Structure 1
Amino acid sequence: MRTQRSELSEADFQAVSKLAYDEAGLVLPASKKAFVYSRLQKRLRHLKLGTFEDYCALLRQNDPDGEAERINLISALTTNVTQFFREAHHFELFGKEVLPGMVEAARKGDPVRIWSAGCSAGQEPFTIAAYCLKHAPQLATADFRVLASDIDPNVLHHGLAGVYPEDSLPDDRSDYFSDLIEATENPKDFRFKENVKKLIAFRKLNLLRDWPFSGRFDAIFCRNVAIYFDLPTQQGLFEKFGKQLKPKGWLFVGHSERVNLDTNKAFRSAGLTSYQRTE
């Protein structure tokens, strides 16, 4: 077995970059070569591969091993950093502008749906559910669901389990979670109760592929996901989101992401990185 330290050749870097773009829309300019090397060197060690050439050959395999490693590649090249109540200004606007309409729709018996697109380990969809149950507890018995999707199955299992460290809860928002969580065997962790978990559907989904649903959403949270895409891909995704929202539905994006309102007439700016469908 070859054990020498492998170098990432320009050809191998270009092969990885193309595959990452084709698979998930990830853009890896030349300035990211050192980052790619650092992230993927760990994969080579884990797989006991001697060279990046060997690794690229594995990625190209049209079999379960190749497919599994392409998933691991995307996971390695993205940063799954998230937290409860991240970018809290979105929830202030959500509570003021979005939640009242959701409550009225639920009162009429209509389905109420929110999509956490790029949900990572699940803190965002659980925050959405906790916020809704705190301010509109009647939604617990309504036709209310949160879709939580991510391309990476390696992080989705955290959301499915609903177990997180105690110190991950923000101190100033503890009242949102106190009735929704329970202790685990590990005193440093907590678990969301089943009545909360049943409101959230975790699904593996590539945002750049066809979406296997036709229902529309009251609001979509897609924050700090589009930053990995080039501008045409970003704006194309935002256009698709517009078509997936109910009339006057809402889209919340990350702090460095923007919908181009000059070309996308489906939205109006409604606050910091917050957009509402114009019809």
Structure 2
Amino acid sequence: MVVADNMREFEYTWDDFNYLRKLSNAHSGIMVPDDKFDMFYSRLTKRLRILGFSRVYQYCQFLQAHPELEFTEFMNAVTTNLTSFFRETHHFDYLVQTLLPDLKQNNPTQKQIKAWSAGCSTGEEPYSLAMILLENMPTDWNIKILATDLDTHVLSTAAEGIYPIDQASSMGEQRLHRWFQKGTGANSHKVRTKAELRQIIQFKQLNLMQEWPMKGGFDFIFCRNVLIYFDRDTKSILVNRYASLLREGGHLFIGHAESLHLLESPFSLVGNTIYKKPAHD
């Protein structure tokens, strides 16, 4: 069925949309409802212009014929990436007031923290975590943050650590001065995270629906505004995979619109969208 819309630059049908969302779901597990019809179109128009197509159907054919050339670009285009520094501040308050003091008390000899930011987007979340950890933990502790995302484009932005100064200013002048370097000349409206932050974060491309190469032992995992895109069965699988990579007593932080309610998992709720894996005596 062709959508009768003379305002569209490219011919676009429900058959096109159904093919593309099925492909996206098979690769990422993300459920794409009918109301994302227009979003998919708008996300793909840049690729169609670059490739010289006049119909979305041509793009579907190209994807099918040349997945090795285009599939990563397709997933990058349709993946949602919305984030900010210190988003959902109560999670960071919990780290400072509860979790980090517990780690200091219960881990005095090993002096190590392992954290994972799953679905890190353009990097604001892992950099926020890095600031909190470096501000609140002794300097002789070994701090490692793994930051992963499906989208290779946002990972490149995250690894560079360059942001508009207006975006970074929201965290306050003190943090901005402590953790960022201001650009000069043509880049005077931008800031870059200092090497001190970047060196404790490892950015990696990861499809949550495929094999995970990590060995585990994480003290906490941030997986915020990711579960909302999956169906119930997939959520249960992911949550239990997270549990298997957390140490005993480890924490899972999820998004404000998410819940583990009705999911089979070992976690117990200890705060607003904060869950804890039980510790065995």
Superposition TM-score, scaled by structure 2 size:
0.89
Contact 1:82 1:120 in 2 (8 A): yes
Offset at 1:29?
Answer: 2.0
Contact 1:152 1:204 in 2 (8 A): yes
d(CA) in 2 for partners of 1:105, 1:207 = 31
d(CA) in 2 for partners of 1:14, 1:190 = 41
Identical residues among aligned pairs (%): 34
Contact 2:83 2:121 in 1 (8 A): yes
Within-5 A mapping of 1:1-279:
5-62=9-66, 64-65=68-69, 69-104=70-105, 107-136=108-137, 138=138, 140-171=139-170, 173-185=172-184, 186-260=187-261, 262-279=262-279
| Equivalent position amino acid for 1:231 in 2 | R
| Equivalent position amino acid for 2:221 in 1 | I
User: Deviations for 1:87-137, whole angstroms, at most 9, x for unmatched residues?
Assistant: 00111111122112333466312531000000001010000010111122x
Q: Which runs of 5+ in 2 are unaligned?
A: 1-7
d(CA) in 1 for partners of 2:32, 2:97 = 39
Seen in structure 2, the aligned counterparts of structure 1 residues 226 and 265 have a Cα distance that, compared at 3 Å, is closer
Contact 2:216 2:244 in 1 (8 A): no
| Equivalent position amino acid for 1:149 in 2 | T
Seen in structure 2, the aligned counterparts of structure 1 residues 106 and 183 have a Cα distance that, compared at 3 Å, is farther
Which one is further off, 186-195 or 200-209? Answer: 186-195
Contact 1:222 1:251 in 2 (8 A): yes
Seen in structure 2, the aligned counterparts of structure 1 residues 180 and 205 have a Cα distance that, compared at 3 Å, is same
Superposition TM-score, scaled by structure 1 size:
0.90
Which one is further off, 245-254 or 158-167? Answer: 158-167
| Equivalent position amino acid for 2:240 in 1 | E
Q: Which runs of 5+ in 1 are unaligned?
A: none
SS at match of 1:195: helix
Which one is further off, 37-46 or 171-180? Answer: 171-180
| Equivalent position amino acid for 1:163 in 2 | I
Offset at 1:236?
Answer: 1.6
Contact 1:134 1:176 in 2 (8 A): no
Which one is further off, 248-257 or 161-170? Answer: 161-170
Which one is further off, 85-94 or 44-53? Answer: 44-53
RMSD of the TM alignment (CA)?
A: 1.9
Offset at 1:242?
Answer: 1.0
Offset at 1:172?
Answer: 5.3
Offset at 1:11?
Answer: 2.1
d(CA) in 1 for partners of 2:55, 2:249 = 52
Contact 2:225 2:257 in 1 (8 A): yes
Offset at 1:148?
Answer: 0.6
| Equivalent position amino acid for 2:276 in 1 | Q
d(CA) in 2 for partners of 1:217, 1:246 = 6
Seen in structure 2, the aligned counterparts of structure 1 residues 108 and 266 have a Cα distance that, compared at 3 Å, is same
Seen in structure 2, the aligned counterparts of structure 1 residues 239 and 127 have a Cα distance that, compared at 3 Å, is same
Contact 2:16 2:56 in 1 (8 A): yes
Contact 1:156 1:203 in 2 (8 A): yes
Offset at 1:41?
Answer: 2.6
d(CA) in 1 for partners of 2:170, 2:30 = 35
The number of residue pairs the alignment matches comes to 270
SS at match of 2:177: coil
Offset at 1:154?
Answer: 0.3
d(CA) in 1 for partners of 2:233, 2:78 = 20
Offset at 1:177?
Answer: 4.0
Seen in structure 2, the aligned counterparts of structure 1 residues 192 and 93 have a Cα distance that, compared at 3 Å, is same
SS at match of 1:178: helix
